[in-house]
Amino acid sequence: MEKSLCRLMMISGAMGCGLLGLVPETGLARGVLVQGQEIALTECSGWLFESSTAPAIESNALYWFIQGIPVYPPGGHFRFRGEFPAARYMSWQNHDLLGNSTALLADTDIVPDRGQNPFQPDTPYSPGSAYTVDLLDIPPEVRPSRPANILYGGYRYDGRETEYNAVAYRVYLPDPGTDALGGVPRPDFYFVVDDPEKTSEEDIRTMCEEMRKIQEAEKQLLARVIESTESLDEREPPGRRVIDGPSAKGAFPQPSLSDFKELANYRAVIPNPNGEGIYFNAQTGYLQVFLAPSRDEVTVMRFNAPTFPDTQGVQTGDGTPDEISGNEQLRYWSLCMQNTTSFLSTTGCLYDAQVRRDNDGRVTFAFSNPESRPANATNWLPTTDTIPSVILRQMQPNPAFAQALLYFAGTETDPAAIAAHMGEFFPLVATCTRAEFERDRCGLDP
């Protein structure tokens, strides 16, 4: 622990920017510890992140990171208690300290302590519905068939041990009238005493302080990435620059101007739990499209859009939201524009229900510099970079949706293979002048 902590603190030592403050300190429980006692870990309960300018962050999501959680803590384990958010999606995912995915607890797999789980098919939202999640360090080979409400830790999927757990909690697209957390408080974080003889209040306090230092170092590292366009310390792998998006394997090194022989370079980025994919969402497949620098005024992207639950009632006309039926092709999809010259900083996103469909059911996007935006471009995102990067996210696909990006197993940089897998859901790219788009959308109108 001390070695990894020193490394992180060394990285953050030159960072003076304060991105987001940790929650205020409050005292830990005092007195004699007893078996089953829950000790609130408010001082080391991580940090919330909500920003559309960070590397590869989705602007319609909120993230809660609790890093530096020690594996096999003496005398107990960790626990989360929360309420189901009024939102399209949530998940609990575990990682090692570098952000490589190690475990997933999907929203559909959580059994309520009270009320009902609104992410189950055709289940209306019930305010106050609550649940408990226990973080347990158990080797993969001896884990029972997945019991409800357990987020496994301590090991990668291939059985290698980890020193720390790093939990990421996500909430996507909260319901109208709620906040970024979906109208519920942030979940509570506890240490549960399993054996009072093996721990003490002072031990727990010391452990919490070490966790807090790691969390602060990680937070400041991200702050440095956001505020600087220069390279990070060479000792850090480039994938550490990215949260919930393409990592070293998926997006770095960036293409050069000489790489482009077509209008776009495609790259499928599929989560790999054993070493590739820094803070990937394990339920999401990504398609990254780098747009050529020598394109016309307007770049056009067109594809068939998967079905989804319109939980905000945006497309129904009368504002009536859809329930999650479980029959949708995806839980959520979006298209985000990013600048490659600033570590994939997000400049704008459009999510599924915001996107206007064409008469044939397909969707057409236009990308241009702000001053060249066509008057009739409804699904539009700005390009302010020499080689913009467009990321298509497809989240929590239905197993029956075989064309989903998450199920792609071919060569990640082979556009023909990606197109063959995605079929009509593959985005085709063309360019034209602003006048041509305003006349007939680059020849797409009948």
Do 314 and 407 fall within a single domain? Answer: yes
* 229 in any annotated domain: no
Sign of the torsion formed by the C-alpha atoms of 418, 423, 427 and 430? positive
Q: What is the edge-to-edge ordering of all strands in the sheet holding 164-174?
A: 47-49, 61-70, 164-174, 87-95, 101-106
Query: Looking at 224, 254, 281, which one is the last position of a domain?
Result: 224
Per-residue pLDDT reduced to its tens digit, 34-58: 999 999 999 999 999 876 556 667 8
Query: Looking at 224, 256, 287, which one is the last position of a domain?
Result: 224
* 370 in any annotated domain: yes
- CATH code, 313: 2.60.120.1600
What percent of the chain has a predicted confidence (pLDDT) above 90? 59
Do 201 and 300 fall within a single domain? Answer: no
Structural domain including 348 reads: 238-440
Do 272 and 406 fall within a single domain? Answer: yes
* 310 in any annotated domain: yes
Asked if residue 113 has pLDDT above 50, the reply is yes
Do 16 and 162 fall within a single domain? Answer: yes
**pLDDT at res. 114:** 97
**Amino acid letter at 21?**
G
Per-residue pLDDT reduced to its tens digit, 408-423: 999 999 999 999 999 9
Q: What is the residue-wise DSSP string for 121-180? A: TT----TT-EEEEEEEE--GGGPPS--TTEEEESB-TTS-B-SEEEEEEEEEEEPTTS-T
315 band by pLDDT with thresholds 50, 70 and 90: confident
* Residues 6 or more apart in contact with residue 75 via CB below 8 angstroms: 193, 194, 195, 196, 197, 198, 199, 203
Do 179 and 273 fall within a single domain? Answer: no
Answer whether 282's CB lies under 8 Å from 318's CB: no
Asked if residue 260 has pLDDT above 90, the reply is no
* 445 in any annotated domain: no
Asked if residue 251 has pLDDT above 50, the reply is no
pTM for the structure as a whole: 0.84
Asked if residue 237 has pLDDT above 80, the reply is no
Do 73 and 167 fall within a single domain? Answer: yes
* 13 in any annotated domain: yes
Answer whether 273's CB lies under 8 Å from 84's CB: no
Do 154 and 252 fall within a single domain? Answer: no
The distance in angstroms from the start CA to the end CA of the chain is 64
Do 248 and 203 fall within a single domain? Answer: no
The pair of three-digit structure tokens given for residue 171, joined into one six-digit string: 């909430």
376 band by pLDDT with thresholds 50, 70 and 90: very high
Do 368 and 416 fall within a single domain? Answer: yes
Do 370 and 340 fall within a single domain? Answer: yes
Asked if residue 425 has pLDDT above 80, the reply is yes
429 band by pLDDT with thresholds 50, 70 and 90: very high
Mean pLDDT score, 227-237: 40
The pair of three-digit structure tokens given for residue 237, joined into one six-digit string: 């792998």
Asked if residue 273 has pLDDT above 90, the reply is no
Three-state DSSP class for 423?
helix
**Amino acid letter at 266?**
Y
| Range in 3-17, 120-134, 259-273 the model is least confident about | 3-17
**pLDDT at res. 52:** 56
Do 211 and 244 fall within a single domain? Answer: no
Split into its structural domains, the chain has a count of 2
Do 181 and 263 fall within a single domain? Answer: no
**pLDDT at res. 234:** 34
Distance CA 155, CA 140 (A): 7
The pair of three-digit structure tokens given for residue 397, joined into one six-digit string: 């696909």
| Range in 199-203, 271-275, 355-359, 368-372 the model is least confident about | 271-275
Peptide bond preceding 253 in cis form (omega within 30 of 0):
yes
20 band by pLDDT with thresholds 50, 70 and 90: very low
327 band by pLDDT with thresholds 50, 70 and 90: very high
220 band by pLDDT with thresholds 50, 70 and 90: confident
* 446 in any annotated domain: no
**pLDDT at res. 147:** 75
Per-residue pLDDT reduced to its tens digit, 77-100: 999 999 999 999 999 999 988 788
Mean pLDDT score, 175-185: 94
Mean pLDDT score, 392-415: 95
Query: Looking at 189, 224, 259, which one is the last position of a domain?
Result: 224
- 204: closest CA among 76, 64, 67, 22? 76
Per-residue pLDDT reduced to its tens digit, 183-211: 999 999 999 999 999 999 999 999 999 99
* 233 in any annotated domain: no
Distance CA 33, CA 176 (A): 43
Side-chain-facing half-sphere of 433: CA atoms under 13 Å: 3
Asked if residue 120 has pLDDT above 70, the reply is yes
The pair of three-digit structure tokens given for residue 24, joined into one six-digit string: 């205020």
* 231 in any annotated domain: no
Distance CA 115, CA 56 (A): 35
- 367: closest CA among 313, 437, 304? 437
